[in-house]
């Protein structure tokens, strides 16, 4: 308990900002039906109605309430991004650590496959794969997770290689420990710091990639509310000097910043960096 | 003595270090005076403040430290009142510093000679061409091989002992008045240490340079210093001329430092021919990689129950490689290893759990041997659970028992992390982890070489106690012959991957020796301040070639070893 209060007191101001923002997003995503005045896909008014008491942020090109869609968007966009990033990390870091621990042909095979995957620009590759396998949320999650896991793989392999060279790993190997113990008890605890920092960054990239794909029409499909596609649907308004299309973009930016503040703080804490 | 003779005058020096709860004083008012051409030895265990004081003599502190009081007067000028730029003008040109690890102090991307000349050129003492010529001259004075050519190599292309001498040349390049040597030979093995020590001593005398020589090795400081200051916990214990200090130390603490070297193990009964050795290494050869050069040639020796076999030799002699073969990490290409008369599978992966349990290992560097993310109870508890199947309360009780056995209080250390322990305590945890498996044979790979003498002494005593209580056998790898004398029953001397001499301690240490054993034995510094002078004269008389240390010819050319690097 004493430890907890001490940790809480040591949280920096920027990290507090990050924590508050992320909590608000989570609450909004969780209680979306309560907060939103209208349904996610409900057509409630005229096309492109301006801001008013009735429609807080106006309506979109089909007459749906933008505020309600923004709230539901938190659910879809953030939820899918978290799921995708977690998947990418589970797969990527496991393969990375496995490569570093076993070495030899497995390391070579994994390393070269990842090189091939990384040789093609990510967005174009994602577009290509989505066109081949068809656009669905499951496909999108799997494809982005796979493409992003290559980055996680390289990081976790590089970090794990340093740990594998340590004498305590040799001691564990001499004890005859199994691969599972080596990876989960000896190696992973020592590489969490870079992985967590990368998680913050990766989450943002995934988030932006989903939004970009949605903006291009290959991501989350209408009528599901999503911040990326919302920008596209009301993009025309920008030429009339309206700020409305920028609001979903702002929501994306704010979350990106907040997540990185938290990752920074965690990195400082776990590596003992000062300042 | 007039004030002009006084080169360095430190009065009431106080230094503070930043920790989690603010500034803590780590040096509590130390005085130090040094005349021109005088060599002062600073000794004490780690954490005594030796290096901190040494750096303060240049008006410098490490990050997170500050000088909070006292004065540092160098050649009549108060250093602490000078600004950074003025101090920088002094550093390198009039005060120089030689660090402990030459390997990490050189920039690997530049040639040695460019780094040597940099200081002199930067301080506008010499132009580049003169500086180069002088550097070559210094190399010659420091007895570096090929002085004209060695400077054009990169740091990784010369040996550790040579690098340390090049660093001394670098410090000498501006002909400074004061040089601070911070443990310059601690990382070197005994035979190389001699070369560096004699080179440093000669050049310091030649240029009449004053020096502060920081070390924890008393025998080394006895050779180098005119007077010795003993430090402890940032306080001065005592100061006296070298000879007086060695023959008649005043303080109890100084005497305890002196006494470390006098520790001797109890004689054990001789081995009977009928005894089956616990480990028998029979004609093993090994190489790194399937077609790499051989690093071990036909090595054989036995280790008997309850005895300690010390394997000695300089770095690269194959000591640790033998240990790796024993533990099954490096496959042997010929020969076999018997454990209680049974042949051990070559690879650790093919050995049974029981075979793995009975052979444990303690590592040189405790920092990398303990997982920093695991608590002490997990580190020691794991082998208990893995080998002996202990769980829950049973495991907890045994961990506490083991902690008591290695003389650490279980209430304090049970749930700590390794980073919260000192070097000696970490090494004790390493021992406890090995003991947890209830082995009958432990490989100790240079386990005391990273520790200072008092702490190392404690570890050796602990190992000896455990041996007599539990009947353990040790294979003790070391390059320090003082340690061998303290703990070993049998000695195996290795050179270039071969056993050159083996037998009981008395057989090996009693003449006639193999020439290599002779070289090793005579290179161990003695507490007698005339030892180095005497040894050098003796060696010079023997070969007359002018080279201070001549290596005995090995039956195997050294090239074959070098290629593997």
Q: Touching check for A170 and chain B: CB below 8 Å?
A: yes
Quick one: which of B556, B533, B536 has its CA closest to B547?
A: B536
Q: Give the pLDDT score at B59.
A: 83
Q: Give the pLDDT score at B540.
A: 75
Which strands sit side by side in the sheet containing B342-343, from one edge to the other? B294-303, B279-287, B334-339, B342-343
What residues does each domain of chain B span?
38-68+83-262, 307-318+350-517
Q: How confident is the model at residue A2 (pLDDT cuts 50, 70, 90)?
A: low
Mean pLDDT of A154-175: 91
- Shortest Cα distance, chain A CAs vs residue B407, angstroms: 22
- How many angstroms separate the CA atoms of B210 and B179, rounded? 6
Quick one: which of B38, B456, B45, B460 has its CA closest to B233?
A: B45
The helix/strand/coil state of B298 is: strand
Task: Give the list of residues 6+ apart from residue A275 with CB closer than 8 angstroms, or none.
Answer: none
Q: How confident is the model at residue B545 (pLDDT cuts 50, 70, 90)?
A: very low
Quick one: which of B282, B260, B142 has its CA closest to B200?
A: B142
CA angle B548, B549, B553 (to 5 degrees): 140
Quick one: which of A231, A214, A163 has its CA closest to A193?
A: A163
Closest Cβ–Cβ partner in B365, B373, B386 for A175: B386
Q: Give the pLDDT score at B543.
A: 61
* DSSP per residue, B156-200: GGS-HHHHHHHHHHHHHTT--SEEEEESTTTTS-HHHHHHHHHHH
Q: How confident is the model at residue B532 (pLDDT cuts 50, 70, 90)?
A: confident
Phi, psi for B437 (deg, rounded to 5):
-80, 0
Q: How confident is the model at residue A39 (pLDDT cuts 50, 70, 90)?
A: confident
Q: Could you tell me if B462 and B431 are in contact, meaning their C-beta atoms sit under 8 angstroms apart?
A: yes
Q: Give the pLDDT score at B260.
A: 60
Quick one: which of B259, B220, B213, B223 has its CA closest to B243?
A: B223
Q: How confident is the model at residue B562 (pLDDT cuts 50, 70, 90)?
A: very low
Q: How far is CA A149 from CA A145, A154, A206, A264, B65, in A?
A: 6, 9, 11, 21, 44
Closest Cβ–Cβ partner in A166, A176, A177 for B368: A166
The helix/strand/coil state of B142 is: coil
> How many C-beta atoms lie closer than 10 Å to residue B464's C-beta?
18
Higher pLDDT, B126 or A150: A150
Task: Give the list of residues 6+ apart from residue B239 with CB closer than 8 angstroms, or none.
Answer: B227, B228, B229, B230, B245
- How many angstroms separate the CA atoms of B246 and B252, rounded? 13
Long-range contacts, stretch B251-258, CB < 8 angstroms, 24+ apart: B254/B230, B256/B454, B257/B43, B257/B218, B257/B230, B257/B453, B257/B454, B258/B218, B258/B527
Contact A171 B361 (CB under 8 A): yes
- Shortest Cα distance, chain A CAs vs residue B461, angstroms: 24
pLDDT at B546 over 70: no
pLDDT at B125 over 60: yes
Q: Does domain B307-318+350-517 have CATH number 3.40.50.300?
A: yes
Higher pLDDT, B545 or B404: B404
Is ipTM beyond 0.95?
A: no
Q: Could you tell me if B403 and B389 are in contact, meaning their C-beta atoms sit under 8 angstroms apart?
A: no
Strand partners, B178: B95, B210
- How many angstroms separate the CA atoms of A54 and A61, rounded? 17
- Shortest Cα distance, chain B CAs vs residue A176, angstroms: 7
Q: Touching check for A3 and chain B: CB below 8 Å?
A: no
Q: B38-68+83-262 and B307-318+350-517: same fold? A: yes
pLDDT at A141 over 90: yes
**Cα(first)–Cα(last) distance of chain A, in Å?**
26
What residues does each domain of chain A span?
19-29+74-271
Least confident of A86-90, B179-183, B541-545: B541-545
Phi, psi for B405 (deg, rounded to 5):
-60, -35
Q: Which of residues 109-168 of A touch B (CB under 8 A)?
A: 166-168
Contact A190 B353 (CB under 8 A): no
CA B72 to chain centre: 31
pLDDT at B38 over 90: no
- A216-253 pLDDT tens trace: 888 888 788 888 788 877 777 778 877 888 888 888 88
CATH architecture of B38-68+83-262: 3-Layer(aba) Sandwich (3.40)
Substitution target in A164, A174, A192 with the highest count of B β-carbons within 10 Å is A174
pLDDT at A19 over 50: yes
- How many angstroms separate the CA atoms of B67 and B60, rounded? 8
Q: Give the pLDDT score at B379.
A: 92
Mean pLDDT of B317-331: 87
- B169-208 pLDDT tens trace: 888 888 888 889 888 877 677 777 887 888 888 888 888 8
Q: Does domain A19-29+74-271 have CATH number 1.10.3720.10?
A: yes
pLDDT at B22 over 80: no
Question: pLDDT averaged over chain A?
Answer: 86
pLDDT at B557 over 50: no
- Shortest Cα distance, chain A CAs vs residue B393, angstroms: 21
pTM: 0.74
Q: Could you tell me if B99 and B92 are in contact, meaning their C-beta atoms sit under 8 angstroms apart?
A: no
């Amino acid at each position: 308990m004493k430890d907890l209060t001490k940790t809480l007191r040591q949280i920096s101001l920027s990290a507090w900002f990050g924590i508050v923002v992320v909590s608000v997003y989570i609450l909004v995503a969780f209680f979306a039906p309560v907060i939103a005045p209208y349904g996610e896909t409900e057509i409630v008014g005229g096309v492109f109605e301006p801001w008013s008491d009735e429609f807080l942020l106006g309506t979109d090109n089909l007459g749906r309430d933008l505020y309600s869609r923004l709230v539901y968007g938190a659910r879809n966009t953030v939820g899918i991004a978290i799921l995708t990033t977690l998947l990418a990390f589970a797969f990527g870091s496991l393969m990375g650590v496995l490569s570093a621990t076993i070495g030899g042909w497995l390391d070579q095979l994994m390393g070269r496959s990842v090189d091939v995957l990384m040789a093609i620009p990510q967005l174009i590759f994602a577009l290509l794969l989505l066109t081949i396998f068809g656009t669905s949320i499951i496909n999108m999650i799997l494809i982005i997770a796979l493409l992003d896991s290559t980055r996680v793989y390289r990081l976790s392999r590089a970090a794990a290689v340093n740990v594998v060279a340590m004498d305590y790993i040799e001691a564990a190997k001499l004890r005859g420990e199994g691969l599972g113990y080596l990876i989960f008890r000896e190696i992973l605890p020592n590489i969490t710091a870079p992985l967590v920092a990368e998680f913050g960054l990766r989450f943002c990239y995934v988030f932006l990639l989903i939004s970009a794909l949605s903006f291009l029409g290959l991501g989350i499909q209408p009528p599901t509310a999503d911040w990326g596609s919302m920008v596209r649907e009301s993009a025309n308004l920008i030429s009339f000097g309206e700020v409305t299309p920028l609001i979903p973009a702002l929501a994306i930016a704010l979350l990106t910043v907040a997540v990185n503040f938290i990752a920074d703080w965690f990195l400082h804490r776990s590596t003992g960096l000062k300042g | 003595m007039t004030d002009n003779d006084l080169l360095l005058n430190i009065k009431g020096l106080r230094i503070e270090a930043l920790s989690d709860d603010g500034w803590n004083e780590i040096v509590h008012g130390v005085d130090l005076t040094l005349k021109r051409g005088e060599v002062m030895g600073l000794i004490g265990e780690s954490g005594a403040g030796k290096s901190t004081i040494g750096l303060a003599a240049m008006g410098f502190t490490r990050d997170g430290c500050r000088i909070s009081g006292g004065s540092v007067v160098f050649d009549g000028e108060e250093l602490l009142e000078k600004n950074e730029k003025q101090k920088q003008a002094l550093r390198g040109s009039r005060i120089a510093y030689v660090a402990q690890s030459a390997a990490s102090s050189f920039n690997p991307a530049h040639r040695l000679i460019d780094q040597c000349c940099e200081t002199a050129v930067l301080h506008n003492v010499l132009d580049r061409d003169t500086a180069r010529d002088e550097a070559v001259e210094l190399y010659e004075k420091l007895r570096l091989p090929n002085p004209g050519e060695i400077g054009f190599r990169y740091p990784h292309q010369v040996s550790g002992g040579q690098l340390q001498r090049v660093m001394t040349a670098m410090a000498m390049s501006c002909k400074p008045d004061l040089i601070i040597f911070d443990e310059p030979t601690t990382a070197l093995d005994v035979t190389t240490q001699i070369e560096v020590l004699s080179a440093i001593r000669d050049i310091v005398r030649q240029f009449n340079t004053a020096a502060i020589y920081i070390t924890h090795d008393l025998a080394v400081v006895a050779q180098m210093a005119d007077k010795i200051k003993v430090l402890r916990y940032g306080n001065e214990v005592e100061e006296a001329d070298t000879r007086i200090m060695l023959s008649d130390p005043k303080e109890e603490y100084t005497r305890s430092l002196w006494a470390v070297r006098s520790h001797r193990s109890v004689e054990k009964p001789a081995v009977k021919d009928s005894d089956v050795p616990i480990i028998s290494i029979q004609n093993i050869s090994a190489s790194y990689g399937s077609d790499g050069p051989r690093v071990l040639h036909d090595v054989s020796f036995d280790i008997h129950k309850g005895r300690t076999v010390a394997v000695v030799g300089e770095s690269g002699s194959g000591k640790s490689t033998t240990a790796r073969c024993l533990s099954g990490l490096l496959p042997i290409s010929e020969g076999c290893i018997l454990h209680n008369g049974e042949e051990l599978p070559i690879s650790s992966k093919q050995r049974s759990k029981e075979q793995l349990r009975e052979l444990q290992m303690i590592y040189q560097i405790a920092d990398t041997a303990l997982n920093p993310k695991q608590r002490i109870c997990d580190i020691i508890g794991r082998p208990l659970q893995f080998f002996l199947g202990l769980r829950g309360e049973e495991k907890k009780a045994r961990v506490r028992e083991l902690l008591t056995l290695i003389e650490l209080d279980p209430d304090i250390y049970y749930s700590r992390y390794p980073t919260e322990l000192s070097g000696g305590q970490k090494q004790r945890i390493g021992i406890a982890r090995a003991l947890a498996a209830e082995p009958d044979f432990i490989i100790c790979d240079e386990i005391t070489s990273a520790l200072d003498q008092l702490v190392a002494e404690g570890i050796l005593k602990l190992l000896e106690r455990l041996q007599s209580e539990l009947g353990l056998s040790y294979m003790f790898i070391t390059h320090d012959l003082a340690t061998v004398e303290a703990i070993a029953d049998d000695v195996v001397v290795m050179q270039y991957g071969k056993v050159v001499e083996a037998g009981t301690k008395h057989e090996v240490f009693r003449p006639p020796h193999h020439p290599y054993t002779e070289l090793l034995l005579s290179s161990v510094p003695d507490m007698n301040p005339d030892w180095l002078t005497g040894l050098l004269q003796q060696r010079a008389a023997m070969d007359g070639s002018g080279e201070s240390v001549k290596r005995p010819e090995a039956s195997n050319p050294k090239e074959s070893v070098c290629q593997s690097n």
